[in-house]
């Protein structure tokens, strides 16, 4: 069954909320899914919404060329209908006549019956002028790279040899990566179970518990997912827990724990033998930590609280290890969250930097002398990574930066960076600090 006008109206509404009202992709898509009964249509919805956001700058350029003058603000939903129509024409194997006819019909569903001629004309012209329209001048950086200008400029400055590869990774489909629960069996055994079902998975040298699927599948298709055999987690995110070097029984704080991927990995590595406090400012997001703990049969102390205000949640007994997976721009995970391209502004970075610095400052007193703090972000911007550790470390005699004895990624002054797309991983940064016992 072809995707209908109703479905295209749902897609346009979903995109309008994300692009024009600042709604989050995850939440909006979840709500939209509830309005779409057929599983196959849900797949179309997801592909269309993710894809339109992924290529939004280039599609907007093409739409502007076709329209001549912009649509009125109150017709933003029409702009989204057209953008998703262009996405279907350019990037999906939907017959062009279906894209045009159903988008035209969607105007009525969106109470914009007056716009049927406009939508028909724009999409037909888009099809006719396809090769010329798709040739975006290289000088139009946003449209040709499909990322915001501020990010392209920062990336070029930070990674002169790699910026283009990072942007290309930001436009790519991310793989589905799994973390095998090694308490239940080896990654090789789980790969064999997948293979028996016709699902091919590859191991990742840097992350022994990781399997990357050749083609993504629904979680429900993964053997024993509900029984805790595996979790979904990118390979780069799986590098954090081992770096903490936690001994059995240790007292550990995961300061920004939700939704709990790294907490659960840590507990798996220690077969649950660790006194882990999983803190997060969002009580809502902590529900996911509790749910994962239940599914995996692992326990930790789940605490809602602001990591920058230890007085409100800390019992005064120092931690031997702290994981600070700090709130950041998410610039390393754009391929998984393409709404970052439109939601994140350059001004946010200043705010994020001050939060990152404050979190380090406030958590440091809770770390035991000799203890280690691992600073992690899913960002590829030095301003959130090395710059933060440099500023924190400067003049602080009780802090030393520990080298990371690993071969993956690249050494930066203070830590280690994986750029998005490197070995098909998300972009992540890791820096390990130790509180000197002698100061
Ligand atoms: C990058 S996510 C953490 C991901 C998590 N470590 C994992 O592996 O699943 C950052 C988290 O920081 C939380 N957060 C932001 N500001 C915080 C604060 N001041 N105190 C505690 N948590 C905070 C957010 O709610 C968000 O869940």
CA of 306 to the centre of ligand 1 (A): 10
d(CA 326, CA 375): 7
Q: What pTM does this model have?
A: 0.96
pLDDT of residue 1: 38
pLDDT of residue 3: 67
How far is CA 207 from each of CA 60, 124, 203, rounded to the nearest angstrom?
39, 48, 8
CA of 343 to the centre of ligand 1 (A): 18
pLDDT of residue 77: 97
Q: Which residues in the chain come in under a pLDDT of 50?
A: 1
If phi over 0 gives left and psi between -120 and 50 gives alpha, with beta otherwise, what is residue 129? alpha
d(CA 386, CA 368): 23
CA of 436 to the centre of ligand 1 (A): 26
pLDDT of residue 27: 95
How far is CA 324 from each of CA 367, 377, 378, rounded to the nearest angstrom?
12, 8, 12
- Indicate which residues carry an active-site annotation: 378
Question: Tens of pLDDT along 100-149?
Answer: 999 999 999 999 999 999 999 999 999 999 888 888 999 999 999 999 99
CATH numbers and ranges of domains, the chain: 5-140 (1.10.940.10), 177-232 (3.30.70.1170), 236-435 (3.40.50.150)
| Ligand 1, CB cutoff 6 Å, lining residues | 237, 256-262, 279-282, 285, 306-308, 325, 327
Tokens (6 digits) for 263: 């907490």
Other CB atoms within a 10 A radius of the CB of residue 95 amount to: 11
Atom of ligand 1 nearest to the CA of 307: 20
For the chain, what is the largest distance between any 2 Cα atoms, rounded to a whole number of angstroms?
76
């Amino acid at each position: 069954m072809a995707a209908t006008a109703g479905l295209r109206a749902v897609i346009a509404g979903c995109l309008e909320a994300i692009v024009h009202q600042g709604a989050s992709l995850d939440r909006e898509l979840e709500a939209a899914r509830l309005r779409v009964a057929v599983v196959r249509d849900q797949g179309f919805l997801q592909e269309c919404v993710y894809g339109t956001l992924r290529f939004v700058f280039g599609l907007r350029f093409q739409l502007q060329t076709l329209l001549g003058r912009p649509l009125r603000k109150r017709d933003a939903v029409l702009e989204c209908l057209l953008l998703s129509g262009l996405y279907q024409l350019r990037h999906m194997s939907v017959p062009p006549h279906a894209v045009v006819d159903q988008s035209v019909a969607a105007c009525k569903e969106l109470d914009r019956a007056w716009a049927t001629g406009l939508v028909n004309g724009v999409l037909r012209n888009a099809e006719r002028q396809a090769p010329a329209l798709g040739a975006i001048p290289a000088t139009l950086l946003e449209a040709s790279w499909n990322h915001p200008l501020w990010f392209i400029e920062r990336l070029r400055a930070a990674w002169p040899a790699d910026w283009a590869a990072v942007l290309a990774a930001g436009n790519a489909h991310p793989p589905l990566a799994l973390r095998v629960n090694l308490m239940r069996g080896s990654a090789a055994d789980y790969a064999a179970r997948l293979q028996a079902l016709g699902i091919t998975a590859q191991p990742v040298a840097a992350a022994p518990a990781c399997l990357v699927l050749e083609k993504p599948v629904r979680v429900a298709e993964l053997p024993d997912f509900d029984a805790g055999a595996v979790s979904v987690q990118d390979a780069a995110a799986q590098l954090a827990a081992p770096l903490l070097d936690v001994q059995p029984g240790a007292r550990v704080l995961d300061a920004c724990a939700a939704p709990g991927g790294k907490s659960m990995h840590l507990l798996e590595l220690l077969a649950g033998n660790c006194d882990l406090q999983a803190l997060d400012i969002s009580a809502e997001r902590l529900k996911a930590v509790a749910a994962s703990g239940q599914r995996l049969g692992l326990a930790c102390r789940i605490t809602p609280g602001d990591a920058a205000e230890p007085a409100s949640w800390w019992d005064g007994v120092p931690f031997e290890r702290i994981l600070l997976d700090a709130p950041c721009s998410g610039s390393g995970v754009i391929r998984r969250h393409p709404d970052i391209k439109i939601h994140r502004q350059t001004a946010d970075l200043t705010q994020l930097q001050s939060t990152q610095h404050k979190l380090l400052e406030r958590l440091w007193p809770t770390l035991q002398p000799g203890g280690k703090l691992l600073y992690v972000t899913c960002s590829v911007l030095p301003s959130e990574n090395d710059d933060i550790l440099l500023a924190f470390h400067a003049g602080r005699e009780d802090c030393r930066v520990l080298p990371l004895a690993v071969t993956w990624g690249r050494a930066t002054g203070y830590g280690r960076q994986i750029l998005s797309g490197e070995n098909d991983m998300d972009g992540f940064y890791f820096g390990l600090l130790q509180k000197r016992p002698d100061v």
